[in-house]
Amino acid sequence: MLGEDHSLVHEFPEYQNIIVKLCQSDDAFAKDTKHYNALDKEIRDLELRGAPIDDDAMHQLKHDRAELKDSLFYRLSKSSSQ
């Protein structure tokens, strides 16, 4: 679905407290979360405006978002098991 919210808290509501904690205590996590949410917003905005970029560029943005999401999820799950 176009324009869907994939922000980190929306994707992983069960980790909301851990996301907040890590954003406050881990600068690298906070930076990556900010970058992930910015990518998500950019993709959503492009989708809602009819994606005024070529398909390869859109696929690259989505690929970058997916890789970052995987990395953030790994760190969240690792932190929650400690």
* Residues in the chain, overall count: 82
**Res 81 pLDDT > 90:** no
> What pLDDT band is residue 4 in, cutting at 50, 70 and 90?
confident
Better-predicted residue by pLDDT, 62 or 2 = 62
φ and ψ of 61, to 5 deg: -60, -45
pTM: 0.87
Summarised one tens digit per residue, pLDDT across range 5-43 is: 888 999 999 999 999 999 999 999 999 999 999 999 999
Looking at residue 1, what is its pLDDT? Answer: 56
Burial of residue 22 (CB within 10 Å: 0-12, 13-18, 19+) is buried
